[in-house]
Amino acid sequence: MLNPVTQRALEFERPLEAAKPKVQKEMENQMASLREEVKGPSARELELKKASNLVKEDYSLLRVCSPRTKEDLQAKVSEMEGMKLELQEEITTRESGLSELEGKLKTSEENFCKTDSLLSQALSSTAELERKLKFRKISTVESRVAAKNRSQKNLELDDLIQASSDAPEEAKSQPRELEIQLIAAEKKSVEFEQQLEYGRTKKAKLMPRERRESSRENIRTRDRDRKRFVSTSHSKLEDAGKKGKRVYAAALKRKKYVIKELEERNAASERKCVDASAGLKESDIMAKLKSAEEQLEQQEKLLEEATTRKSELESLHETLKRDSEIKLQEALTNFANKDSEAESLSEKLNTLEDQLWKPPMKNSKVDRGKRKTKFSSSSSENELLGETNNQLKRKIDELQELLNSAVSERESHEASTIADSRKTESWKRLSPKVTRPRNRCRGTENKVVTLKERVVGRVEDNLRLTQELASYESKLRDLEAKLSAILSEKDGTAEQLHISKKVVDDLRPQLSPIKEIDSQKLEKEANSRNPLRTFEAVNKETPHLENQVKELERKPHEVDAKLLEEVGLYIPHYP
């Protein structure tokens, strides 16, 4: 077994052995070529002379062309420096313009933020106004209901006042009628007493003594009954008057209570109206709406100014863009020309180097020295050209950086234009949102005007109602005064009746002897006349007198019934 080292050595030896014949053939070929070259040195020398002459000519041409190229390059460098200064100035102007644009954009963004905040405030104020309008609508509905209730209660009060005004008139008429009836009843009672006495005298004359005594006792009992009836009727009348006073006083109290309730409700409604008017704060709302409108107008003006500035900046940007593009194209063309010139010079240098680096192998030492000097001179020139190329590359790099900065500025400006377009789109989107709150504000103004008119109408209605209530109160006071006067008159008439009764009672014992004398005279006259006729006349007059007495007994009951009916008329009005 072989070692792996020996195996590897054998593996390396195999390709070497295979390559040996190829190497030998190449060596043989090279030797043949060298032999041929050695055989023809004269031809090569001639060629070298020709090449040296060509090199000398090229060198002379390079010496002649090198100052021109240097001058051209210096002129181009000066032009490039001038272009660089111009570009720097343009860059500074653009930077200043961009700073101004950034400041304007910041101001426009601030204004936009302010407009957004104002719009949000306007929307919140519109929401508050809508809430207030809803509250006002509810308050107006409540005030309408309260006004309806007031109108109904006012109608009820009118009915009550009319009833109360009719009641004192009826009360006035009733005591007068009662007085007239009492006077007529007293007259009739006097006449009846006279007739009774006359009939008694006639009966006494006709009847025996026992019957006369019994008839006298009956007459006395009847007189007592009549007196009792009259006293009871007077007491009933007094009780009825007291009841009427109580009922009227209760009715007045209830009326006063109802009037107080209505006044309180009216005052509450007025307070509600005042609170609603105070809660509205229409002047404040109008001022706020005006301030919001002014702010919106200012924002519109600012937005219009921003749009105009934006259009101006866009036009300036387009002009600057065109100028920069033109200048960049010119610079690129100049760079391309310079690149082509540098490439041509580099190609020439490469050709010269190739010509210099391809000398024949069998050249003399003198030719080598000359070639070295030529090569050193050409290398120095190449170094100069390399330095110029490096300078040109640096300038190209600087110009490329300027181009990149211009492109970045262009991109930033395009981004700013995109932002401006977005702002315009957002403004277009927000413009209907702005118009909507404006329309809402106008609608709210119209609603506020209508509410003002309604509040003024309600205030006028309340004033009218207060005036009507005051007039009704004055009427009620007049009626109370009249009722008090009527009641005082009634009390006076009752006292007068009582006094007249006392006078009649006092005069009756005085009239009894006179009646006896008159009865004696009548008996004498009856005895002198036909007794039968007198007795028949007395019998005819007695039922008539009894009917009159019954009517007199019925009248106080009728008066009591009428008083009760009148009292019942007052009571249903106050449930």
pLDDT digits (tens, 9 = 90+) for 495-537: 766 666 676 666 666 555 555 665 565 555 555 544 444 445 5
Assign 97 a pLDDT band (cuts: 50, 70, 90): confident
Mean pLDDT of the chain: 64
- Intra-chain end-to-end CA distance of the chain, in Å: 143
Looking at residue 362, what is its pLDDT?
43
Q: What is the structure's pLDDT at 275?
A: 62
Nearby residues of 123 by Cβ (< 8 Å), 6 or more positions away: 437
Please tell me the predicted confidence (pLDDT) of residue 114. Answer: 73
DSSP string, 486-546: HHHHHHHHHHHHHHHHHHHHHHHHHHHHHHHHHHHHHHHHHHHS-HHHHHHHHHHHHHHHH
Q: What is the DSSP string of 86-153?
A: HHHHHHHHHHHHHHHHHHHHHHHHHHHHHHHHHHHHHHHHHHHHHHHHHHHHHHHHHHHHHHHHHHHH
Confidence check: pLDDT of 477 > 70: yes
Asked whether the predicted pLDDT for residue 112 surpasses 70, the reply is no
Over residues 206-222, the mean pLDDT reads: 59
Using the predicted structure, report yes or no on whether residue 474 has a pLDDT greater than 70: yes
pLDDT of residue 409 exceeding 50? yes
Residue 103's pLDDT is: 75
More confident site: 457 or 375: 457
Q: What is the pLDDT of residue 80?
A: 72
Number of alpha carbons in the 13 Å side-chain half-sphere of residue 338:
24
Enter the tokens of residue 496.
């007068």
Q: Which residues contact 473 (CB under 8 A, 6 or more apart)?
A: 259
Give me the half-sphere count of Cα atoms (radius 13 Å) on the Cβ side of residue 139: 23
Taking only the tens place, the pLDDT of each residue in 259-268 is: 677 667 666 7
| Distance, CA of 218 to CA of 385 (rounded, Å) | 179
| pLDDT at res. 481 | 74
In this predicted structure, what is the pLDDT of residue 478?
73
Cβ distance 522 to 202 under 8 Å?
A: yes
Most confident of 3-12, 167-176, 475-484, 514-523: 475-484
pLDDT of residue 218: 63
Which is higher by pLDDT, 241 or 530?
241
Instruction: Indicate whether 157 pLDDT > 70.
Output: no
Residue 175 CA: distances (Å) to CA of 166, 209, 256:
14, 46, 26
d(CA 103, CA 97): 10
> Is 276's pLDDT higher than 60?
no
Token representation of residue 516: 């006896």
* pLDDT value of residue 29: 74
Exposure string of 92-114, with b = 16+ CB inside 10 Å and e = fewer, is eebeebbeebeebbeebeebbee
Q: In this prediction, what percent of the chain has a pLDDT beyond 70?
A: 19
C-beta separation of 324 from 90 below 8 A? yes
Q: Where are the domains of the chain?
A: 138-322+432-573
Highest mean pLDDT among 22-36, 79-93, 365-379, 555-569: 79-93
CA-based angle 322:328:333, to the nearest 5? 130
**pLDDT attached to residue 277:** 55
Average pLDDT over residues 299-326: 69
pLDDT category of residue 128 using cuts at 50, 70 and 90: confident
pLDDT of residue 574: 36
How far apart, in Å, are the Cα atoms of 408 and each of 403, 412, 567? 8, 6, 107
Confidence of residue 571 (pLDDT cuts 50, 70, 90): very low
CA distance linking residue 504 with residue 403, whole number of Å: 144
Cα dihedral value 413, 419, 424, 425, nearest 10 = 130
At 364 the pLDDT is 46
Tally of CB atoms within 10 A around 223: 13
Q: What is the pLDDT of residue 304?
A: 73
Would you state the pLDDT for residue 418? 67
Per-residue pLDDT, averaged over 5-21, amounts to 64
**532 vs 418, higher pLDDT:** 418
